Structure 1
């Protein structure tokens, strides 16, 4: 089944069922299908068809969904972009993806996107058209179109419906740099996304009666996966253009959302907003927390105060995204302390440094094989080859283990491991401890070069607003709770962390900042 088939199935059976709720507008499955097909017809008239790439440079909103469905109708691939990209990042991704058309907001956070694309057009030979979303009455030429006008021009017109091979045809190219490295375009097929997120929906027990709040950006795999999960069961999607904790809670009340998904920091902000006990949030029944390590204490508090049926999941962009997820019938200990059981049909192998498989309860690099694993990296065959074992397991770069009961435990990133003298230190263990300190909002641990020990451990701490805490107090807090060699050698306080577009800390950049600061102090 293709992504387009998901919406068509519900539109045929229940065309009046609401699919999108955004601001004051609600779209039914039937109306969404009509508008998406009109957009597809207009794009076809411009020469866009099967195999072409359609970049979507939009925040969460109905235009994003309509564009994504229209692409599926044409057999084209979407290239979701972070609207906050710099000109340099935007040029790299558009050039690498060879996008023929980009659908973008006229303005985003004070940036004139139309002017930006006009500056970049001479460096983007494959980009033929720009479609703008906004309220301005702008002048357009034969390369620039207004979204609503383009949809209107395609109404009632026909186009050849693409014959999609779900297993082979790429539907989405998502760019991820992780917390290190250069951006890579992850190619995901229709089957990757539909099967994986359908299985995720099943694990959560989603039904057509659910209202799924998507506050995470749909330009990354977490948000796009949440959308497709909802479509697999015919649920309603509540879109939030830009996340803010208090606004998200109010939106849950207004729409009576039943499902919510987010990163740990998003849930932590909601719990600390001071609004939880003032609002009727009883409509919430389940959801997913993923995208970063989840403290067991935080998971318990979310279930007690916000989302009773919250589940913890593990995944990556390259795995569409879900690899494992807890279930509501799991034992409490497993539900709080693990990333759950694997999706049926997905395999995980734990690898040693030599690439050999390790026994149960051993920590090593996690490698994944199954229907969820990407087709490859766009235009990077060598990188694709390096990421796979000879028998087709994708090497995640994450450290973890499988326990005797088949539950997955995540330890951290392999490349983040700190070698201090003769000891290996996994940053996640220390970061989890630091987050328990009442004055710590967020923490990241990085290694800093040292002539004697090889590396020192530096704890970078973002304090809770208004908190007063010292580095010595942070070290004292760690004393006795972990082995002495794991106590941070250095503590640095930051106002904010450098982040990736998907909300992860850029550790390489953070380590570079710490090294520069330390070098300046020593000089």
Structure 2
């Protein structure tokens, strides 16, 4: 197995983009339905946007939120923020107003860049009044006024030096020179992202990552995946998610691969997506089962596809074998990572089917992994325990919450992931369970505490307990056990309609069960073990 090539000495995302555009100006990094964006184009557009952000008063280290679906504008927004020395705060396009407002308030972001939302939805219209939000950039055609600024008015012309493929040495006093100075002043240990992650206390936490972490983590990830300049890579995971942003958007620019941004993924459009020449595809095992079903129905062969990537999921060995034989894949890769720890482990070339199917491979370079019992002692190979991780990929902490940071990152630098795993004798890691009280709906982590806190804002409920229940369609689904306020009743359809209006779709409970009281354990806490047993008995 060849060693992973070290990341070039860029240090920061702005320097990486500038160097890539200088060396490979015509490399296509975005193909949006035939509309292509080269590295030269991306740098020029991001520079114009960064100049606009500087004009709005964005200072080094300021948080700038981005809200929209996967499209080219999201890519330009992200690199515009980074060139301006800012920190990207992604908002899911699935967010509703209360959720988005909470993230903006927690991170102190006072500039919001919005793009396209779900069909018929203007994202900026979902926000409640936010006194701290100075500027909201909206797509052209959306009614402006107040703090709203049409995106076409944000860019400020930044002429490049004549004959130069990129604005490498713009004239003194120009917006382009100001952007260049700001971009080159960014340091490797400066924050580049604050990513929201589900928590168990009712509010999401903001994971802080710096430029050096992201560059190294996803350079190594892309090296092991063999992502390269001849690849076409549909990015299905939202750019607002750590995988979509870093293993999608950033990785493509790092490796000069062409990203195909997927605004809203539909399984029915899978074959069309692959038929566009996709060579790398990432998703859960269900995605690849669907691919094989389509081929069995007589869909055209997909000879362009060469690499499939699953994420810390148990993959039936027969699925891997069929993908290699039926599709002609070179590699099927399993991997494990988490927002707080970037990339942790990956399978490698030459691993047997059994390793890829049952494990997430071995730690990536620079990362240590342990599996420990409840007393913090290492368990023998083959036994279950909590996964601990240490190395460059461990987050800088939770934004504004040193106490919660100390709960998960100990004095020796070990991140306590809350995931349960097993290490085999060869160091391969299998992720088998979660200690955290989280569940996963269609690949999205859901915090029961967050859903509970939101449901209580509806007004008719005295108590709520939410848990994840196995579901044949979505993997897991949320069930909400609710107790009405004294003298009130719960209108379940009305409650669910409120939830759909105020929560991301994957957080909306699939079922609401009205009860008089919630069971409690000996400590007086809600007994979710009893609720889960009751729910399992009903499924």
TM-score in terms of structure 2 length: 0.75
- In structure 1, the partner of 2:86 is 76
Q: SS at 1:75's partner residue?
A: coil
| Gap change, CA 1:86 and 1:209, over 3 Å in 2 | same
Which of the numbers 28, 40, 49 marks the counterpart of 1:39? 49
**Alpha-carbon contact 1:334-1:340 (below 8 Å) kept:** yes
Measured after TM superposition, the shift of residue 460 of structure 1 is: 3.5
Within 5 Å, give how 1:81-230 maps onto structure 2: 81-105=91-115, 107-117=117-127, 119-122=128-131, 125=132, 127-134=133-140, 136=141, 138-141=142-145, 143-151=147-155, 157-158=175-176, 159=178, 160-163=181-184, 166-177=187-198, 181-226=202-247, 227-230=249-252
| Gap change, CA 1:269 and 1:504, over 3 Å in 2 | farther
**Alpha-carbon contact 1:348-1:366 (below 8 Å) kept:** yes
Does residue 267 of structure 2 align to residue 245 of structure 1? yes
TM-score in terms of structure 1 length: 0.77
Q: Which digits, 9 at most, give the CA deviation of each residue in 1:196-215, with x for residues without a partner?
A: 11111111122222222211
Within 5 Å, give how 1:416-495 maps onto structure 2: 460-462=470-472
**Alpha-carbon contact 1:257-1:283 (below 8 Å) kept:** yes
Question: For residues 6 and 277 of structure 1, what CA distance do their matches in structure 2 show?
Answer: 44
Measured after TM superposition, the shift of residue 121 of structure 1 is: 2.6
Q: SS at 2:129's partner residue?
A: helix
Q: Which digits, 9 at most, give the CA deviation of each residue in 1:87-109, with x for residues without a partner?
A: 21111101001112111136533
Question: For residues 359 and 350 of structure 2, what CA distance do their matches in structure 1 show?
Answer: 14
Q: Which digits, 9 at most, give the CA deviation of each residue in 1:232-285, with x for residues without a partner?
A: 22221111111112323212212x121111233333343344677412311111
**Alpha-carbon contact 1:38-1:155 (below 8 Å) kept:** no
Does residue 385 of structure 2 align to residue 364 of structure 1? yes
Question: For residues 195 and 382 of structure 2, what CA distance do their matches in structure 1 show?
Answer: 33
**Alpha-carbon contact 2:65-2:111 (below 8 Å) kept:** yes
Question: For residues 511 and 416 of structure 2, what CA distance do their matches in structure 1 show?
Answer: 20
Measured after TM superposition, the shift of residue 166 of structure 1 is: 4.8
Question: For residues 472 and 395 of structure 2, what CA distance do their matches in structure 1 show?
Answer: 35
Measured after TM superposition, the shift of residue 111 of structure 1 is: 2.8
Question: For residues 179 and 279 of structure 1, what CA distance do their matches in structure 2 show?
Answer: 45
| Gap change, CA 1:294 and 1:379, over 3 Å in 2 | farther
Q: SS at 2:155's partner residue?
A: helix
- In structure 1, the partner of 2:408 is 387
- In structure 2, the partner of 1:233 is 255
- In structure 2, the partner of 1:412 is 433
Question: For residues 145 and 330 of structure 1, what CA distance do their matches in structure 2 show?
Answer: 52
| Gap change, CA 1:505 and 1:323, over 3 Å in 2 | farther
Question: For residues 508 and 315 of structure 1, what CA distance do their matches in structure 2 show?
Answer: 30
| Gap change, CA 1:101 and 1:291, over 3 Å in 2 | farther
Q: Which runs of 4+ in 1 moved over 6 A?
A: 500-514
Q: SS at 2:407's partner residue?
A: helix
**Alpha-carbon contact 1:399-1:413 (below 8 Å) kept:** yes
Question: For residues 276 and 151 of structure 1, what CA distance do their matches in structure 2 show?
Answer: 49
Measured after TM superposition, the shift of residue 153 of structure 1 is: 5.1
- In structure 2, the partner of 1:313 is 335
Gapped runs of 5+ residues in structure 2?
Answer: 1-10, 161-174, 441-445, 449-466, 475-499, 514-526
Within 5 Å, give how 1:319-338 maps onto structure 2: 319-320=341-342, 322-338=343-359
**Alpha-carbon contact 2:271-2:294 (below 8 Å) kept:** no
How many correspondences in the alignment?
445
**Alpha-carbon contact 1:246-1:270 (below 8 Å) kept:** no
Gapped runs of 5+ residues in structure 1?
Answer: 418-426, 429-443, 447-456, 465-497
Question: For residues 209 and 302 of structure 1, what CA distance do their matches in structure 2 show?
Answer: 21
Measured after TM superposition, the shift of residue 152 of structure 1 is: 5.4
Question: For residues 310 and 200 of structure 2, what CA distance do their matches in structure 1 show?
Answer: 19
Question: For residues 297 and 272 of structure 2, what CA distance do their matches in structure 1 show?
Answer: 10
Question: For residues 36 and 436 of structure 2, what CA distance do their matches in structure 1 show?
Answer: 45
Q: SS at 1:225's partner residue?
A: helix
Question: For residues 529 and 356 of structure 2, what CA distance do their matches in structure 1 show?
Answer: 37
Q: SS at 1:315's partner residue?
A: strand
Question: For residues 320 and 129 of structure 2, what CA distance do their matches in structure 1 show?
Answer: 45
Question: For residues 203 and 468 of structure 2, what CA distance do their matches in structure 1 show?
Answer: 24
**Alpha-carbon contact 1:39-1:154 (below 8 Å) kept:** no
Question: For residues 458 and 86 of structure 1, what CA distance do their matches in structure 2 show?
Answer: 21
Question: For residues 458 and 501 of structure 1, what CA distance do their matches in structure 2 show?
Answer: 16
Question: For residues 269 and 87 of structure 1, what CA distance do their matches in structure 2 show?
Answer: 34
Question: For residues 31 and 504 of structure 1, what CA distance do their matches in structure 2 show?
Answer: 37
**Alpha-carbon contact 1:257-1:284 (below 8 Å) kept:** yes
Q: Which digits, 9 at most, give the CA deviation of each residue in 1:19-77, with x for residues without a partner?
A: 11112311000011001000001111111121011101011010110011111111110
Question: For residues 65 and 437 of structure 2, what CA distance do their matches in structure 1 show?
Answer: 32
